[in-house]
Structure 1
Amino acid sequence: MKPRYWFRWMVVQGIPRLVLQTHSRRGDTLARLMSAPAGVHDPIPLLESLRDRGRLVRTPLGWVTTDHELCRTILRDNSFRVAAAEGFVPKPLRWVMDRAELPPNPVSPPSMLVIDPPDHTRMRKPVASAFTPRAIGRLRDRVESVTAELLDALPSRGSADLVAAYASQVPIAIISEMLGFPDSERERFLAWGDAASPLLDIGPSWPTIRTASAALLSMDGYLDEHIARLRREPGEDILSGLVTAGELDDRELKASATLLMGAGFETTVNLISNGVALLVNHPDQLARLREEPELWPNAVEEVLRFDAPVQNTGRINRDDIELAGVPVRAGSTVMLLLAGANRDPQVFEDPHRFDITRANAKDHLTFSSGIHVCLGASLARMEGAYALRALFERFPDLQLDGPPQRRPLFTLHGYSHMPVLLGRRAEQPTAA
């Protein structure tokens, strides 16, 4: 890895990492929350500690809120802009970044995730039609067949790592097909995605960034060849449509591809694995689903609320404003703790209770809100509901085989490994 990438890491992540570690040692709650995932996997006590301090809390790292109404308002207010890591770099140091630009990725411009209108509108519009409810409905048969194939491959009365063998395989198969990638490349994309996912956090270590950068460079080379191939022989997939439309340049095409691949995979793999853990540990809720399978869609909403696959996001206000009665100066960063908003007692009765019949479970903010609401939300919901139902119907005695292992991340919240004992196999297919 070239030295300039180390300097980029130092400017963009190294200094914030040092600041986080310093404030964490001093006991700052937000710093502890952001730097603790590798060792402390239950963020709820820290989120509740912040909630106890008010709707909007000033910390040494900026403003932070766990308030549902406030988070939703900010997400929908276009007077706030997205908070990308590069935006916090002092201008005199930006020459370092310009000389060590990473390949297109989900957390750097021109990714839709970190840009604002009008560029955000221009980038999002060409892909939005692929994620309409009608378009997602047409994918249901493929989700069912992929799920059946994966369940058939699991050993009856055997054991498995459910993340590697199932939870990750369902979404990667579907999003790969949607982008025109061959099945043979799935494992490469899984490896690249796993390496790059820490980029969403603040202050990852240099070895982590070195691994992520190498993965991005490999993916960039692959996408160059893939896009060139689609120009010669376009298919019916999303990326072929973007290529033939000619509205985006190559860097924008690759940024869109990496974001769609990441977003189409990360939320759903965490949703499925989080759902398995919650339902195994709440057998009364699982029994209710077996009696009333029509509750599965609402159960997925409750999983998304109770154990959010995406825990946080950030915004920067353009003008001096007042939030929750507190004056906030222009250019301030506000950390929106979505996992905390999903447990707001002002919105969700008894919020720390997992309840698949919760009437307003869908009011969670896991998929964000406003113009940056997750494009693939409908797809993730459909994949999650079918994958979970099919798994528990095919293996009704499934149980954990030891403690599952959480991913050492702050923003993305899920499991890296989940050993299970599958038990007997029930051969009847899941009803549509």
Structure 2
Amino acid sequence: MDARYSIRWAAEHGLPRLGFLALRAQGDLLARLMSGDEGYDDPYSLIDQLRGDGGVQVTRAGYAVFGYETCREILRDRRFGVRKPIDSAVPLPLRRYAERIAVPPNPIEAPSMFALDPPEHGRLRKPVASAFTPRAVARLGDRVREVTAELLDAMAAHESVDLIATFAAQVPIAVIAEIMGFPAADRELFLRWGSHVAPLLDVGISWQAHHRAMLATEALTDYLVAHIEKVRRDPGEDIFSLLVTTGDLTTTELLASANVLMGAGFETTMNLLGNSIPILLSHPDQLDLLRAEPERWSLAIEELLRFDTSVQMTARSVLEPVQFEGGVPLEPGKSVVVSVAGANRDPAKFPDPHRFDVTRANAKDHLSFGTGMHACIGASLTRLEVLQALPALFDRFPDIRLDGEPTRRRLSTLRGYSQMPVRLKSR
């Protein structure tokens, strides 16, 4: 592996990591939220302490916002752009050297649309978004039902399973394979690569995590380059083939778009499915209501998204001077952490926000899929998959119970489980 990646790690993660660890030891709440067990296991108590008046909060670890209205405004405001992988606080010589070191295509590097502002963002988003139009997603409905039924049939042969490995990860990866035209035999490759790449969305990851991510992105890139060439020679009827053959994207842009397609269609769905199980099992009255009145499932999915969002936070860079009413002035070049989890549990927007309520009328106002130009393009697909998969799981296994403590992923941005042992049948 190219030793120069160590320079990228030092600039992107190493220096911020040292800062977070030092500030966490001194009790800085934002540093505690973004690193360490407390931020992974129970971020919401820290968020309540950080919320303040809902405007931009100033901590020694940086600017952050936890109120619904300000979070929504920042995500929609053109005076804010995407955060650059290397923060402006990194010493200039190191920053300039690190920026010249190329890394494999990944979600946080241009030309990924996640890392671009207008006008390039719109040019790359438009062809990819065509994969997730309501009509295109509706055509995947039958496949989602087939996959769900197949997985439940396979699970029925066992009394206990790991629900992440056998179900929550398998539903979305099967659908993504359908979208991308990948053979079913390669699904496990993508699950492994995806688990290694996901930490890149955090700030301050360890060198070992960064090393694994780079190896995974290299392997994924090699696979995708070969797949793109195959599609150009012999296109299929899948959505990605349409993107390759009808668009004007370069191979590099197609690689970035493929990463977006897989990320938008996989991570949110897997984590939402996994997060939902313990919530519903710990609220049996709500689950009983859904069983008695299954038409409530659609709104229940929105409440699940609000209550424990799969994407806990994002960040924006200040492009021009900004000062919200009564708030602190924000200078260009500074970054602001936007707490999606904080917005979703803001009592000013969602009364009694820590109560899980599948009848909550405004649950769909959550920001779990973002808003504005960077709103998640896979939102409609995630809703479709979860609306099919969750009711089917509880219908097929009415006695399902946790069979031990689920294991959280040690990530700050993406919230989910890596393992979840469950007992499917009564003893």
Provide TM-score, normalisation by structure 2: 0.96
How far does residue 104 in structure 1 lie from its aligned partner after superposition? Answer: 0.5
Aligned to 2:21: 21
Q: Deviations over 1:314-365 (max 9, x none)?
A: 1112111212422222222111000010000111011000001100000100
Aligned to 1:362: 364
RMSD after superposition: 1.6
- Which range moves more in the overlay, 390-399 or 322-331? 322-331
Aligned to 1:93: 94
Q: Does 1:61 align with 2:61?
A: yes
- Which range moves more in the overlay, 85-94 or 332-341? 85-94
Query: Number of matched residues?
Result: 425
Evaluate the alpha carbon distance shift between residue 108 and residue 343 of structure 1 in structure 2; reply closer, same or farther with a 3 A threshold: same
How far does residue 98 in structure 1 lie from its aligned partner after superposition? Answer: 4.6
- For residues 179-258 of structure 1, the aligned pairs below 5 Å read 179-258=180-259
Aligned to 2:377: 375
The answer to whether the 8 A contact 1:156-1:424 is kept is no
One-letter identity of the residue aligned with 1:264: G
The answer to whether the 8 A contact 1:395-1:424 is kept is no
Evaluate the alpha carbon distance shift between residue 52 and residue 99 of structure 1 in structure 2; reply closer, same or farther with a 3 A threshold: closer
Aligned to 2:297: 296
Aligned to 1:421: 423
Evaluate the alpha carbon distance shift between residue 119 and residue 360 of structure 1 in structure 2; reply closer, same or farther with a 3 A threshold: same
One-letter identity of the residue aligned with 1:297: S
Q: 2: distance between equivalents of 1:243 and 1:209?
A: 30
How far does residue 380 in structure 1 lie from its aligned partner after superposition? Answer: 0.4
Aligned to 1:76: 76
Q: 2: distance between equivalents of 1:102 and 1:281?
A: 43
How far does residue 90 in structure 1 lie from its aligned partner after superposition? Answer: 4.8
Instruction: Name the SS for the 1:323 alignment partner.
Output: coil
The answer to whether the 8 A contact 1:157-1:424 is kept is no
The answer to whether the 8 A contact 1:407-1:414 is kept is yes
One-letter identity of the residue aligned with 1:363: D
Instruction: Name the SS for the 1:353 alignment partner.
Output: coil
Q: Deviations over 1:255-312 (max 9, x none)?
A: 1101211221100001001111100111111000000000111111111000000000
The answer to whether the 8 A contact 1:406-1:416 is kept is yes
One-letter identity of the residue aligned with 1:209: H
Q: Deviations over 1:79-113 (max 9, x none)?
A: 21011323535543245335532111111111011
The answer to whether the 8 A contact 2:271-2:416 is kept is yes
Aligned to 1:392: 394
Evaluate the alpha carbon distance shift between residue 367 and residue 160 of structure 1 in structure 2; reply closer, same or farther with a 3 A threshold: same
Aligned to 1:135: 136
- For residues 265-414 of structure 1, the aligned pairs below 5 Å read 265-326=266-327, 327-414=329-416
The answer to whether the 8 A contact 2:315-2:338 is kept is yes
Q: 2: distance between equivalents of 1:160 and 1:47?
A: 33
Q: Deviations over 1:183-227 (max 9, x none)?
A: 111000000000110000001001111111111111111111111
The answer to whether the 8 A contact 1:65-1:334 is kept is yes
Evaluate the alpha carbon distance shift between residue 333 and residue 39 of structure 1 in structure 2; reply closer, same or farther with a 3 A threshold: closer
Q: Deviations over 1:147-185 (max 9, x none)?
A: 000000003560000000000000000011101111111
How far does residue 242 in structure 1 lie from its aligned partner after superposition? Answer: 2.2
How far does residue 130 in structure 1 lie from its aligned partner after superposition? Answer: 1.6
The answer to whether the 8 A contact 1:38-1:407 is kept is no
Q: 2: distance between equivalents of 1:281 and 1:156?
A: 25
Q: 2: distance between equivalents of 1:122 and 1:91?
A: 31
Q: 2: distance between equivalents of 1:240 and 1:407?
A: 33
Q: 2: distance between equivalents of 1:157 and 1:61?
A: 48
One-letter identity of the residue aligned with 2:224: L
Q: 2: distance between equivalents of 1:131 and 1:90?
A: 41
Percent identical residues: 54
Aligned to 1:429: none
The answer to whether the 8 A contact 1:58-1:64 is kept is yes
Aligned to 2:110: 109
Q: 1: distance between equivalents of 2:105 and 2:333?
A: 26
The answer to whether the 8 A contact 2:111-2:253 is kept is yes
Structure 1 runs not aligned, ≥5 long: 426-432
